[in-house]
């Protein structure tokens, strides 16, 4: 929920409204755009608002499609990563943002990757937190399970198309603490079909042959022990992204941006101290 310091706005796309929240006290300075993970919303970045201000940057965070106050239409074709990247571009165009530092967390990191590849000249710096560049089953040598799982998840989505709530729960990162509580609450934030369609996108995730096209300085952040993102995958990403560096947070969790905001922003702040060209 809006923490009181942020201006709420939305862009009307061809497929519904996308809400976003901003603080722009530094005209002419870069804007850090934050993209949250699945089943969350812009409140993931509550701590980042003050951190961005201390660094002298403007702040903007989206409620991604299907999340928060943004459109939740039950149309499967709207929940593909390129659609999310297009939504982001609509916001950037409306706000006339020219200097972008893009920060993506988990699913939001996948959108950030897609956007950086589609609009390479727009991004000054890129930060990917707990972000896979391929289906994580590939690094667990379980890739043979991908398409059976994909079929099962889409079947569940189809079976649950009838499900509808009068009002969807609005996740608040400041209040919904604890892994299981936040996970269960996450399923109440959107139609279940939408949630399963988003999960199914993992089957199509594959940036292996495009990472070398990312030309901006990039920071890859991983926890010490992440069940979804292996150290080998991060090493492979670093090798392919020319101007990349890595950072490890000493926590046994995938959920760095939502559970360890201060440590995450401290590392991002160090990365952003270097001059932006």
Mean residue pLDDT of the chain comes to 93
Q: Is 96 left (phi over 0), alpha (psi -120 to 50) or beta?
A: left
The predicted model gives 156-163 an average pLDDT of 93
Short-list 87, 65, 83, 85, CA closest to 194: 65
Q: What is the mean pLDDT of residues 163-174?
A: 80
Residue 1: what pLDDT?
43
Taking residue 257's Cβ as centre, other Cβ atoms within 10 Å add up to 30
Q: What is the mean pLDDT of residues 41-65?
A: 96
The model's pLDDT over 84-133, given as tens digits with 9 standing for 90+, comes to 999 999 999 999 999 999 999 999 999 999 999 999 999 999 999 999 99
pLDDT for 20 beyond 90: yes
Q: How far apart are CA 157 and CA 147, in angstroms?
A: 15
Query: Given this model, what pLDDT does residue 166 score?
Result: 78
* Cα 52 from Cα 31, distance rounded (Å): 9
Range 197-211 average pLDDT:
97
Contacts of 248 (CB under 8 A, 6+ apart): 221, 222, 223, 224
Domain range summary for the chain, segments of one domain joined by + = 7-272
CATH superfamily of 7-272: Alpha/Beta hydrolase fold, catalytic domain (3.40.50.1820)
Residue 105's nearest CA partner among 235, 259, 271 is 259
Q: So what's the pLDDT on residue 180? A: 54
Q: What mean pLDDT is predicted for residues 33-52?
A: 94
Residue 200: count other Cβ atoms within 10 Å of its Cβ: 20
- What strand order describes the sheet that includes 123-129? 7-13, 16-23, 58-62, 31-35, 100-105, 123-129, 218-223, 244-249
Model pLDDT, residue 170: 83
CA distance 179 to 189: 16
Query: Three-state secondary structure along 36-56?
Result: CCCCCCHHHHHHHHHHHHHHC
Q: What pLDDT score was predicted for residue 53?
A: 95
pLDDT tens-digit profile of 233-261? 999 999 999 999 999 999 999 999 988 99
pTM of the predicted protein model = 0.94
Tell me the two tokens of residue 142: 């379980």
- Give pLDDT, residue 3: 54
Report which of residues 211 and 277 the model is more confident about.
211
> Residue written as tokens 């670093």?
238
Nearest to 107 by CA among 202, 27, 245, 173: 202
Look at residue 188 in the predicted model and tell me its pLDDT: 83
Confidence category of residue 165, pLDDT binned at 50, 70, 90: confident
Spacing of C-alpha 52 from chain mean position:
17
Longest Cα separation, the chain:
52
Average pLDDT over residues 6-20: 96
Task: Give the pLDDT of residue 61.
Answer: 98
């Amino acid at each position: 929920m809006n923490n009181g310091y942020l201006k709420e706005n939305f862009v009307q796309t061809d497929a519904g409204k996308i809400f976003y929240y901003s603080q722009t006290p530094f005209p002419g300075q870069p804007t850090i755009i934050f993209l949250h993970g699945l089943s969350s919303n812009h409140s993931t970045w509550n701590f980042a608002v003050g951190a961005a201000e201390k660094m002298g940057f403007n702040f903007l965070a989206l409620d991604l499609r299907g999340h928060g106050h943004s459109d939740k239409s039950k149309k499967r074709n709207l929940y593909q990563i390129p659609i999310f990247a297009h939504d982001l571009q609509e916001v950037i165009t409306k706000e006339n943002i020219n200097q972008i530092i893009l920060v993506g967390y988990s699913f939001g990191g996948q959108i950030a990757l897609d956007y950086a590849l589609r609009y390479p000249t727009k991004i000054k710096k890129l930060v990917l937190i707990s972000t896979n560049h391929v289906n994580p089953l590939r690094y667990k040598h379980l890739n043979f399970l991908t398409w059976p799982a994909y079929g099962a998840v889409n079947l569940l989505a189809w079976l649950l198309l009838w499900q509808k709530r009068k009002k969807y729960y609005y996740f608040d990162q400041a209040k919904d603490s604890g892994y299981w509580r936040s996970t269960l609450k996450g399923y109440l934030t959107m139609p279940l079909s939408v949630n399963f369609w988003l999960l199914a996108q993992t089957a199509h995730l594959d940036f292996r042959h495009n990472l070398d096209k990312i030309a901006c300085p990039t920071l890859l952040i991983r926890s010490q022990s992440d069940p979804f993102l292996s150290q080998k995958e991060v090493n492979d990403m670093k090798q392919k992204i020319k101007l990349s560096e890595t950072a490890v947070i000493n926590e046994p969790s995938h959920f760095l941006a939502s559970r360890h905001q201060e440590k995450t922003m401290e590392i991002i702040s160090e990365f952003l101290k270097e001059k932006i060209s």
